[in-house]
Amino acid sequence: MSSFSKIVIVIGLVLSVVSCSDKNSRNYQYMPNMYMPVGYETYQKVDFLPRQMEAQLPADNTIPRGWLPYEFENGPEGKELAKLQASPLDSLQTEDNMKVGMEMYDIYCAICHGEKGNGKGILVEREKILGVPSYDDAARNISIGGTYHTIYYGLNSMGSYAGQLNFKERWQVSEYVMKLKQDLTK
């Protein structure tokens, strides 16, 4: 075999080895599990985890960030205790609290309770929801703490707004509702 044919065979082998390599990825991985993580679906069964699920419950006695626990239970006893509660907001910022409370009330409450709190919101006028009482109704003994409790848990056909309004906004809306009640009873 001539030296020329040997050189051609060696060059051919070198070209075939070089052409198979990819410069964007490693050719050899020592521990592939460290480079290629194993992904799990959220609710799929995983044998080695507690409860055999990827998504776990939060640790006991933990509170989500930005969430404050409410001390009163949902029920008549809790509502009666909540009626005695005063607003924890700063009384020197009443004007700012009323402004924010009015904005939140217009977004979440006025559609049923009306802009003036008279129980004649758009949904009531269109007869989509019936039986929304006015804040000046003599049978309604509403207080700021009771209003907060109702916003937090909901009442009758009104659902809870605890997920839409944070702690401070719920108190601001409660203060604004009391202002509407005073305006209606004048």
pLDDT surpassing 80 at residue 23: no
Total length of the chain: 186
Helices marked H in the chain — which ranges? Answer: 3-20, 32-35, 76-83, 94-108, 110-113, 122-125, 144-153, 167-184
Half-sphere exposure of 17 (CA within 13 A, CB side): 6
Model confidence over 49-79: pLDDT tens digits? 777 777 777 888 888 777 778 888 888 898 8
Beta bridge partners of residue 45, listed in sequence order: 53
Give the contacts of 151 (CB within 8 A, at least 6 positions apart): 160, 161, 162, 165, 170, 173, 174
Model confidence over 117-153: pLDDT tens digits? 888 888 888 888 888 888 887 777 888 999 999 999 9
Give this prediction's pTM.
0.66
